[in-house]
Amino acid sequence: MEDSRKILENYFGYDEFREGQEAIIENILQGRDSIGIMPTGAGKSICYQVPAMMLKGVTVVISPLISLMKDQVQSLIQADIPSAFINSSLSAEGYDDVFRRAKSGDFKILYVAPERLSAPDWQKLTETLEISMVTVDEAHCISQWGQDFRPSYTDIPDFINGLEERPVVSAFTATATARVRDDIERQLALENPFTMLTGFDRPNLYYEVRKPKNKLSELMKLLSSRKDRSGIIYCSTRKNVEEVCEALIGSGYDATRYHAGLSDRERRANQEDFQYDRKSVMVATNAFGMGIDKSDVGFVIHYNMPKNPESYYQEAGRAGRDGSPADCILLYSGQDVRTNQFLIEKSLESNPDLSPAVRASLMKKDMELLARMTFYATTTDCLRGYILKYFGEKAEIYCGNCGSCNTEFEEVDVTIESQKIISCIVRMANWDQTYGRAYGKNMIADVLRGSSAEKVLQAGFDRLSTYGIMEDVPKKRIIEIIDCLNRKGFIRITEDKYPVVGLTPKYKEIIGGETSLTIKLPKIEERKEVIPAHKKAEEGPTSTELFGRLKILRRELADAAGVPAFVIFSDATLRDMCRILPRNEEEFLEVSGVGTAKLERYGKAFIAAIAEPIA
C-alpha cells in the first residue's frame, strides 16, 4: 500500500503536507477519532481524502450543501479518485446508478447530506457497505453554540451508532470557539479524539473596515480596481442584494445574485454562473457560501456587517482559498447594528420550538456576539489580532496586513472630551429621571454639539450645562469616543433594538481624573486607496501576460470537461507554472498542485503554452 506522502504527491500533486495534516492522517489511520479545527484554505479535505484512499472500504462524508459535494467530487474525479455524492440533485437514473456502484464497491469516498441519513433506502445501502470512516464536514453545525446550527446534524450520532461496526469518526470545521469544539466532541460522542488546532491566522488575507458616507459609491470604487478578479459581496437583506446587484449590472459588471427569495432553479443557475466564471461577482445574503469550493475568489466585501465574528470569519474566509493574496473588506455603518438586532429577534420569534427560557438565552448570546462584531468594526487596533484573540489565540500588536496597521494613526488624548461626554450622560439621566429614560449615542452627541433639533429642544436639554460644550467637535469624533468608552468599560451600550447609553461604576475613574483615555485616530480623513492584494502578488516572478494566457487555456479545458476552471488548476498552481516555467513532464510534476492524473490530462497543453514566446 502506498504511504500517505505518495498518495499526496501522486493524486493531489503536493510534495509536503501543510501544518497539521499529517498528524491528523496518522491518527485516523491508527483508528483514532479526530477533530480538525483548521482555517478555510488550510486543506481540511486532504485530511480525510488521503486516509480514505488507504483505508479498506468506503469513507462516508457528511456534508451540508449540494454545491460542496458536487465541487469536491468533480475535483476528486479529476485526480482519478473514485467518488460520488447522494443528494436531491441526482436524477432517478443517476440515483440508482450511484447506489448500484456503491454496492459493488466502486467508490472510495461517498458524500451524503445529513438529511438523508434517516432515509430507509440509505440505511439499507449502508448495511451492504464496508464503512471504514465517517467524516463530518462543517462540524460546527451540530452545536447550538455555533453560528450555523442545523437540526439535521443531530441525526449523525444515531447513524453512526446504527452501523454494525463503529468506524473511525473525523470532524472538521474552520470556525469553532473552545465552547463549540467541546460541544462537537460531546454531540458526536467521539472516543478520546485527537484534536488538531492549527490556528486561525491566514496571512494571505488582507482585512479592512471602511465607514463610508455612501456605501454604494465606495463599493464601486473598490470594484474598479478589481475588475479582473472573482469576488463575493455579502448583504444582510434580500432588498440590499437586489439593489446592489442591479446597480452593478447597470455599471457594466458581470454580477449575479443569490438569496432565499429566489427559486431553487435560479439559485442553482446563478451559483453555477459564478462557479464557472460566467459571472465574476456574486451579490448574496449569508444563504450563499457554506461549502463553496471556489478557490480563486480574490475578494469578499461585506456591504453590511454580519451578526457575529464567526460568521464574518467564515464568510470572509471564502477569499483566497488557494493561498493567493485576497482582500476582505467590511463597509460599516451604525444602521448595520440595528438591522442585525431586528434579524436576530425575528429569527428567534419565528422558531415555535423554543421555550421562553431558551429563547431568552439565545437572544442574550446572539446580542453579545453582535456586540463583539461591532467592536471589530469600530476598533483601531490590529484587525487580524482582534480575530485571533476572539478565537483564543495570541496575536502580535502589529500584523502589517490590515486596514488598521496600514493606516497612519496618531494617539489622541481624549480624557477631557470623555469627561464632558460622561458629564452629559449623567445630566441627561438626572434631568429625565422622573421617566427613567436613557438615550442613544446620537442624542448625546446632538446635545453636546448644541443641536437645535426638535427632539433636543422638546426634552429641554438646551437648558443643561453640558449643552453645546463640544460644538466644535465633529459628531463622528464624539461617537468614536463614546464607542471607545464602551469598549474600555467606562460606559455600557445596551443590546436592545434601540440601544441606549448607561454608566458603569468604572466611569468615576474618568470623572475623578484617576484614569486618562487615549484613542487612535487616522491622521488624515481621506483614506488612501489600498493596492489590492492580488496586485501586490503580481510583483515578482509571475508574468502577467503568461498568467493570462494560462488562464485562457484553463478556461477552454474546463469548458470542454464541463467543470469549473479551478477544478483544472487553481490560480496558485498557474502562478507556480509561471515561476518554474516547466519544459517537460518531469519539470511539470514539480509544479505545486500537479499530480500524475492531471499531468496525463493537461501536461502537454500547458507545457506547449508556456513554451510559446511572449510578444
What's the whole-number mean pLDDT along residues 6-14? 88
pLDDT tens digits for range 152-169: 888 899 999 999 899 999
Helix (H) or strand (E) run with residue 387 in it: helix 383-390
Residue 264: count of CB within 10 angstroms of its CB: 9
The stretch 206-232 carries a mean pLDDT of 93
pLDDT tens profile 504-555: 989 988 888 888 888 877 664 444 555 555 555 554 445 678 888 898 899 8
User: So what's the pLDDT on residue 541?
Assistant: 44
**Which pLDDT belongs to residue 532?**
58
pLDDT at 540: 45
Residue with cell 500533486: 13
Tell me which range, 279-288, 290-299, 497-506, is most confidently predicted by mean pLDDT. 279-288
Alpha-helical regions (H) of 379-408: 383-390
What is the per-residue pLDDT across 347-376, written as a single tens digit (0 to 9) for each? 787 777 778 887 888 888 888 889 999 999
Q: What is the mean pLDDT of residues 218-222?
A: 95
**Cα–Cα distance, 481 to 166 (Å, whole number):** 57
Phi-psi domain of 127 (left: phi exceeds 0; alpha: psi -120 through 50; beta: other): alpha
Residue with cell string 431553487 = 264
Helical pair 475-487 and 356-378, crossing angle rounded to 10 deg: 120
Query: What burial class does residue 206 get, using C-beta atoms within 10 Å of its C-beta: 0-12 exposed, 13-18 middle, 19+ buried?
Result: buried
* CA nearest to 283, candidates 64, 291, 293, 273: 273
Element (H, E) at 577: helix 571-580
Please state, rounded to an integer, the average pLDDT across all residues of the chain. 87
Looking at residue 433, its amino acid is: Q
pLDDT of residue 247: 94
For residue 286, give the nearest of 264, 269, 310, 265 by alpha carbon: 310
Question: Mean pLDDT over residues 579-607, rounded?
Answer: 89
Residue 157 pLDDT: 92
CA distance 515 to 507: 9
**257 contacts 283 by C-beta, under 8 angstroms:** yes
d(CA 439, CA 424): 11
pLDDT (0 to 100) of residue 253:
94
Residue 392 has pLDDT above 90, yes or no: no
Q: Residue 363: phi, psi to the nearest 5? A: -60, -45
Strand partners, 282: 232, 256
pLDDT tens, residue by residue, 175-190: 777 888 889 999 999 9
| Buried b / exposed e along 502-525 (16+ C-beta atoms within 10 A) | ebeeebeebeeeeeebebbbeeee
CA 159/CA 146 separation, integer angstroms: 21
Rounded Cα distance between 225 and 532, Å, is 7
Confidence of residue 36 (pLDDT cuts 50, 70, 90): very high
Would you say 90 and 96 are in contact if contact means Cβ atoms under 8 Å apart? no
Q: Above 80 in pLDDT, residue 572?
A: yes
Residue appearing with cell numbers 460622561: 422
The 8-class DSSP code of residue 8 comes to: I
329 neighbors 233 (Cβ within 8 angstroms):
no
Cα-based distances in Å from 204 to 14, 318, 525: 19, 12, 27
Please state, for a pLDDT cut of 90, what percent of the chain lies above it: 39
Q: Which domains does the chain have, with CATH numbers?
A: 4-197 (3.40.50.300), 205-406 (3.40.50.300), 410-522 (1.10.10.10), 538-611 (1.10.150.80)
- pLDDT for 605 equals 92
* Secondary structure, 3-state, 7-57: HHHHHHCCCCCCCCHHHHHHHHHCCCCEEEECCCCCCHHHHHHHHHHHCCC
Q: Find where cell 459628531 sits.
A: 475
Model confidence at 1, pLDDT cuts 50, 70, 90, reads very low
pLDDT for residue 389 is more than 50: yes
Q: Are 67 and 291 in contact (CB under 8 A)?
A: yes
Nearest to 535 by CA among 333, 324, 355, 376: 324
pLDDT in tens, 108-135: 999 998 988 988 999 999 999 999 999 9
Separation of alpha carbons 301 and 319, rounded Å = 10
Q: Please report, as a single letter, which amino acid is at residue 514.
A: E
Per-residue pLDDT tens for 401-421?
999 888 877 788 999 999 999
Query: Is residue 290 within 8 Å of residue 311, measured between CB atoms?
Result: no
Query: Pseudo-torsion of CA 30, 31, 34, 38, nearest 10°?
Result: 50
Per-residue DSSP letter, 292: -
- Percent above pLDDT 70 for the chain: 93
Please give the average per-residue pLDDT across 244-254, as a whole number: 94
> For the packed helices 475-487 and 415-431, what is the interaxial angle rounded to 10 degrees?
90
User: What is the C-alpha separation between 281 and 252, in angstroms, rounded?
Assistant: 11
Residue range 40-54, pLDDT digits in tens: 777 889 999 999 999
